[in-house]
Structure 1
Amino acid sequence: MHLSSGAIILERFMVHVAKVVALAGFVAFSNVAQADGTLSDLLEPIRAQYQLPALGAAIVKDGKIVAQGAVGVRVLGMDIPVTQDDRFHLGSDGKAMTATLAGMLIDEGKLRWDSTIGEVLGPVVPDLKPKFAAITLEQLLSHTSGIPSDTEDIMKLYFSSDAFDYTLTAYRLRMISEWNAAHDLSVPSGSAFQYSNLGYAIVGSMIEQASGKPWEVLITTRIFEPLGLKSAGLGPQATFGKYDAAVGHSVDADGKVTPRPWGLSADGPAVVGPAGIAHMNVADFATWAGWNAGEGKRGPALVKPETLKRLHQAHIKTEIPHPKPGTPKSGSYACGWGLSHFDWTDKPVLVHTGSNSMNLAMIVVDVEHDTGIVAVTNFPGEKADAALLAVSKALYTQYVKAGPAP
C-alpha cells in the first residue's frame, strides 16, 4: 500500500514495461555477472543512474542461484554499505505466499477454491450481507471479488486506534465486520478486476479460521522454514534501534526523502500482513522464485502440483484504461501473481511488484525455462521501477535468451 498526503496511491501488481533508455556505462549482456557470480558491475551503474540508495538482485536457474549481488548503502546520508545478506522489503510480492498457504489448506480439505466468506467466517462474523458472504476464496485470490482497492474508508480501518485493543487475528475479523456493515460490493464495468489488499486480509482470516492458527505463524512455519528462508521475517526489515538492513525511504510531495528504519512508520499496518509485509535477502527471495519456477518439483512439496498450477494460471484479464507509453493495455492476474509479456520474453511470465511506499521489489518467474529473477531496492517510485526492470531485463536476456557465458 502507498500513502501520500493522506490519500492512497494504489500499489501496482504489475510493473510498467515502458522501454528503458540504454544506460551509460551499461555492462554488455554477455558479461552481466563477474567471475565469482556477483552482480556488482551490473548493479552499480543502474543504481547510480537512478539515484537509489541500494540495489540488489539474484537469478536462479534449475533451482540453483547462479548470480546475486547488492550495492549501495543502507541509509541515504550514511556510509553503511549494503551486503548480499541485507534484508529488503517485498511488499505485495508476499501475496503469492499467502495464496500458497491457501493452497495448502485446500489440499488438506480445510478450504476449497469455492469456499465462501459466509461458510468460513460466518460463524465468527455476524450479519454478513448476502453478496459479501457469497464471495469465494478464488475470487479473493484473483482480485475479482468486488471488494475495491484501498479507499479512504478502508484505510481508516487499517489505521484505527481500536486495533491496539485486539490481536491481529481478532482485529482482522472486526475490520471485515465493519467494512461489510457499511459498504456494498461494486464491480466496475468492463472487468471484474480490482486490486484489493483488503481482499487478501480476508484471505488471511479465512486461513486462520480454517487452520486455527495465526497467519503470522503459518507463513513462518509453512513457507519460510520449509524453504530454508533463514533471513525471512515480517514487518520493517531493520532490527529496532539498528541499521542492520536496507532501510526504506519515503518521499513527500516536495521530493524530501526521509529514511524510515523502525516503528509504525517503517511499514504498512500489520493487520493487512497477508497482503504483503515480508522481508528477506536476495538469496532467499531467489529461492522462493526458484521453487515456483520449478513448480515445486524439487521440493519441498508445499502444495500438490495441480494446486500450484492453478495458483499460477491466469484467472482474469486486467485492462489498463490509460497506459503509459510502451505499457501494454492488458495483462492478466492469477492468484498472487500477475502475468505479463515483456518485449524481452517470448511469452507471458509470472511477475509481481511490491511496495509499502518506502521500498520496491520485483519478481519474475519463467516456468518454461525454470528461471527466477528478483530485484530489490530500498526506495519507492518510478525511478525504482525503471531500475528493477532494467536489472531484470539484463539478467533474463543473459541467462535465458543467450545462456550464461562460459
Structure 2
Amino acid sequence: MSKKYSLLNYSLFLTISFLHLFPSLVQGNMLNKLSEYVEEKMQSDKIPGVAVAIVEDSKIVFVKGFGYRDLENKLPVTPETLFHIGSNTKSMTALIVASLIDEGKADWDTPIIQYYSDFALEDSKATELVTFRHLLSMRAGIPESAEDDLLEVTMAKDIFGIIENAEILGNPGDIFEYSNLSSAAAGYIAAILSGTSLDALYEGYIQLIKQKVLNPIGMKTACVRASEAEKNPNYGKSYELVQGKLEEAETEDIDEDPLAPSGSLKASASEMALYLTTLINQGMAPNGNSVISTENVTETWKTYLEDYGMGFEKQHYNNIEIIGHEGSFDNYLSVFGFSTELNMGYFIITNCENTSNDLITEGPKYIVDLYISDREVSKGDVDGSETIDLKDIILVLQVSSGKKISLNMNADVNQDGRIGIIEAIFGIKEIAGF
C-alpha cells in the first residue's frame, strides 16, 4: 500500500529518513541552536567572553567567539583569541611522554629512577615502583597538599625536593590523588630524558611541547610563557564578578612556573579544534602529520581509579563515553571532550570562572544531546508517523538557484518509504535548476 504526501507552496512533508541528503542544513540548524544557547547563558550568568569549537568526522565544523576579550575597550573574542587552558595542558604532557615512547626512549611502566636516578618519594620502596603511568594517572601517592610548599619554589627542579619530602598517601597504583606536582614531574622527567639539564627544565619542557605537540599539529600561537601570551594582541583578559559587577582579575600567570607541565598553556579555540581533530584521528593531525602512534595515544585514554587516565578522564552521558579534561586557572575556565562513538569533539572556554560553572558543566551535555538527536534524525526509518516540514530546505534551494520555486506535486512513498522520497527530492532539485 502506498501513501500520498503533498508538496505545496514551499511545504513538503516527508519522512525523516532522507535527511542525510541535506546534512549541511541539519548541521547548520544544530549549530544555530548552540550559538543561541551560549548567548543565553552569557547573558543570564554574566559571562564576558566565550569561545567554542566543534569538530566532527575529522573536520572543524564550528569555531566561534562570543562576547569580549577586553570589556573596557570592547574588543571581541574571536576564534583566534588566546585564553589560558589550565589543566587541559596535562593531556598534552601525556602526549609528550607518548611521543618519547614511540621513539623508544621511554616506557609507560619502567620505574622513573631508571630515567632520573635522583627521583625519590618519601618511601624508598615506593620510589622503586613509581612509573610514568603512575605519575600521569595521579596514582603515585603524591598528596595535593604538597603544593602548598610551592610558595618557596623558584625553579622547576625544586619540585622534586617537595615531592621527596611529602608524606605519601600509599603505594604507587593504590590511591588516586589529583596532583599538579605529579603531572609536572612527568613533564620535567620527559625533558631530562630528552637531554635537558636540571637548571633548564622549564625551557626544556617548552621546547618539548612545541616539538612534539604544538608544531606538528599546527598550533602556531599556543604558548606556555605568560610574557609571550601577553605580547599577542589577541590575548584575552580574565574577569571576576565582584558584588554583581565584572572586574578585570589580577593575573597569577608567570614565566618559569614550576607547575608548567600541569597547566600553563595558552591556546585559541581554533587551535584546540586542531588538537581535538588529532585526538579523534588517534594521533594524526589535520595537516597529515603523524603526531603520536595510535597505540600510544589511545593508551593515554585508558582509565584507572576515579575514571582518570593519563592526562585524560572519562565520563558517561546518555550512555555515550566522553574522553577529555577540564581546566581552571587565573579566572579562565575551560573543558574539552570527544566521543569516538559520535566521532565528534568540543571545546568551550570562558574568561570569567566564577560565572561560568554552569556553562562548562552543562554545555557539553547540551552539545552531546544535539548530536545524539542529529544522528537519530539522520538515521531514522520510515514508520508512517514521523514527518518533517521541509520549507526550510526548499528555501535554501530557492536562494541557491536564484529562482522562485512553487511546487504542486505528489510523491508516492512506497511501503519501505524510500523510492518515492528520492524521486521527490530529485524533483525539487530539477525544478530548482540543480
TM-score (norm 1): 0.76
2:315 corresponds, among 313, 328, 340, to: 340
Superposed CA offset, 1:47-92 (max 9, x none): 1111111011010012211112111111344422222221121111
**8 A contact 2:120–2:127 mirrored in 1:** no
Provide the residue aligned with 2:367 in structure 1: 395
Structure of greater Rg = 2
Report the CA distance shift for 1:373/1:176 in structure 2 as closer, same or farther (over 3 A). same
In the alignment, which residue of structure 2 is the partner of 1:281?
A: 268
Question: Aligned partners of 1:132, 1:43: CA distance in 2, in Å?
Answer: 47
Judge conservation of contact 2:102–2:292 (CA < 8 Å) in 1: yes
Task: Name the counterpart of 1:43.
Answer: 38
Query: Which of residues 329, 332, 346 is equivalent to 1:373?
Result: 346
Report how far residue 215 of structure 1 moved: 0.9
Amino acid across the alignment from 1:386:
D
Report the equivalent of 1:4.
none
Question: Are 2:34 and 2:367, in contact at CA under 8 Å, matched by a contact in 1?
Answer: no
Q: Is the 8 A contact 2:67 2:77 kept in 1?
A: yes
1:336 to 1:255, Cα distance in 2 relative to 1, 3 A: farther
TM-aligned CA distance change 1:394 to 1:179, over 3 Å: closer
Q: How many residues align?
A: 343
1:173-252 equivalences under 5 Å are 173-180=157-164, 182-187=165-170, 192-213=175-196, 214-236=204-226, 239-240=229-230, 244-250=234-240
Q: Match for 2:293: what amino acid?
A: K
Amino acid at match of 1:286: A
| Letter of the structure 2 residue corresponding to residue 79 of structure 1 | K
> Once the two structures are aligned, what percentage of the paired residues are identical?
23
**Offset of 1:402 from its aligned partner?**
0.9
Aligned to 2:85: 90
Q: 1:120 aligns with which of 74, 93, 115?
A: 115
Does the C-alpha gap of structure 1 residues 243 and 309 become closer, same or farther in structure 2, counting only changes over 3 Å?
closer
Give me the whole-angstrom Cα distance separating, in 2, the residues matched to 1:198 and 1:307.
23
CA contact (8 A) 2:81 2:234 kept: yes
Cα displacement (A) at 1:400: 4.5
- Tell me, in whole angstroms, the C-alpha distance in 2 between the residues paired with 1:245 and 1:297: 28
Q: 1:33 aligns with which of 14, 31, 34?
A: 31
Shift of 1:30: 7.7
Choose from 49, 61, 85 the match for 1:54: 49
Once residues 353 and 254 of structure 2 are traced to their aligned partners in structure 1, the CA distance between those partners, rounded to angstroms, is: 13
Q: Are 1:294 and 2:281 counterparts?
A: yes
Aligned to 1:386: 358
Whichever residue aligns with residue 355 of structure 1, its letter is: S
**Corresponding residue SS for 2:148:** helix
Alignment of 1:68-147 (within 5 A): 68-123=63-118, 129-147=124-142
227-236 or 136-145, which deviates more? 227-236
For 1:7-22, list aligned pairs within 5 A.
Answer: none
CA distance in 1, matches of 2:74, 2:56: 34
AA aligned to 1:277 is S
Question: 1:63 maps to what in 2?
Answer: 58
Residue pair 2:163, 2:181 contacting (<8 A) in 1 also? no
Distance 1:238 1:105, change over 3 A: closer
CA distance in 1, matches of 2:89, 2:133: 17
67-76 or 139-148: bigger deviation:
67-76
> In structure 2, what is the equivalent of residue 309 of structure 1?
298
Measure how far apart 1:40 and its partner are: 4.3
Work out whether residues 248 and 260 of structure 1, in 8 Å CA contact, stay in contact via their aligned partners in 2.
yes
User: How far apart are the structure 2 equivalents of 1:376 and 1:126?
Assistant: 36
For 2:121 and 2:30, the matched residues in 1 are separated by 57
Q: Give, in whole Å, the separation in 1 of the partners of 2:141 and 2:233.
A: 41
Q: Which position in structure 1 is the counterpart of 2:403?
A: none
SS in 2 for 1:348: strand
- Which of 240, 259, 275 is 2:248 aligned to? 259
- Distance (whole Å) between structure 2 residues aligned to residue 72 and residue 42 of structure 1: 13
Query: What is the distance in 1 between the residues matched to 2:71 and 2:256?
Result: 24
Q: Are the counterparts in 2 of residues 122 and 128 from structure 1 also a CA contact under 8 Å?
A: no
**SS in structure 1 opposite 2:61?**
strand
Residue 82 of structure 1 contacts residue 246 of structure 1 at CA under 8 Å; is this kept in 2? yes
Taking structure 1 as reference, are residues 391 and 237 closer, same or farther at Cα in structure 2, changes over 3 Å only?
Answer: farther
What does the per-residue CA deviation read over 1:276-324, in whole Å, with 9 as the maximum and x for residues that have no partner? 11111111111111111121256422222111121111122x1xxxxxx
Match of 2:326 among 353, 361, 368: 353
Contact 1:29–1:395, Cα closer than 8 Å, also in 2: no
Structure 1 position 384, deviation (Å): 1.1
Taking a change above 3 Å as real, the CA distance of residues 173 and 333 of structure 1, as seen in their structure-2 partners, is: same
What stretches of structure 1 of length at least 5 have no aligned partner? 1-27, 164-170, 319-331
After superposition, the C-alpha distances for 1:324-374 in whole angstroms (9 at most, x for unaligned) are xxxxxxxx11111110012xx433210211011410110011112221100
Q: Which amino acid aligns with 1:97?
A: M
* Match in the other structure for 1:8: none
> Root-mean-square deviation (CA), in Å?
3.1
Give the whole-Å Cα distance in 2 for the aligned partners of 1:99 and 1:82.
29
- Aligned counterparts of 2:229 and 2:351: Cα–Cα separation in 1: 15
CA–CA distance in 1 between the matches of 2:370 and 2:92? 28
Cα distance in structure 2, aligned partners of 1:336 and 1:371 = 19
Question: In 2, are the aligned partners of 1:359 and 1:379 still within 8 Å (CA)?
Answer: yes
CA distance in 2 between counterparts of 1:240 and 1:87 reads 9
- Is this contact kept in 1: 2:67–2:76, CA < 8 A? yes
TM-aligned CA distance change 1:117 to 1:124, over 3 Å? closer
Q: Is 1:156 matched with 2:156?
A: no
Provide the TM-score with structure 2 as the length reference: 0.71
**Structure 2: distance between partners of 1:62 and 1:394:** 19
